Amino acid sequence: MKAKIFSMAFLLFALMISSCSSDDSNESVTPTPNPAATGFKWKENGGAEITADNVYFESAYNTIKASKGTSGSTGFQFVEINLTAATAGTYTVGSGNAVGTLAGYGASAGSIVITSNASGKMSGTVTSTGSGNGMTSLDATFADIEVR
């Protein structure tokens, strides 16, 4: 009799387990990470981050050109970075490498680091100190900007 009760209990337990369905809605799903931020962002004097509306690397002149706003309008901002080459590496401000803004800032020290220049895209960072129009520093990051 004990064997029959044990068998019945085991059968009932097996039926309960097999009737449970997998509910995917309660499972933990790892979200797809956001792609790396692309474009050009800079800070003047360590202030609020400014995101360029338009940016590209002009290979004919080894120059990064980034702008925010509409040319000729109030509040238009423009950053230009001139380099002696376009290959990945660290470029020291001076010696043919320059960082400047339309507002009159000119870097006197710092570095431009190109971390990648491949498949028509360029990435890197800028750290500079200088003067002009009340600015004493300009720091920037750029990721996957178009190479023209």
Q: Tell me: the pLDDT tens digits for 78-132? A: 999 999 999 999 999 998 999 999 999 999 999 999 999 999 999 999 999 999 9
Alpha carbon distance 107, 80 (integer Å): 11
Q: Which two tokens stand for residue 59?
A: 């290979």
pLDDT at 73 over 70: yes
- Percent of the chain whose predicted confidence (pLDDT) is above 90: 74
What pLDDT is recorded for position 95?
A: 86
- Percent of the chain whose predicted confidence (pLDDT) is above 70: 75
Q: Give every CB contact of residue 64 below 8 A, 6+ residues apart in sequence.
A: 40, 55, 56, 57, 58, 79, 80, 81, 83, 122, 142, 145
Q: Which of 147, 101, 95 is nearest to 124 (CA)?
A: 147
pTM recorded for the entire structure:
0.75
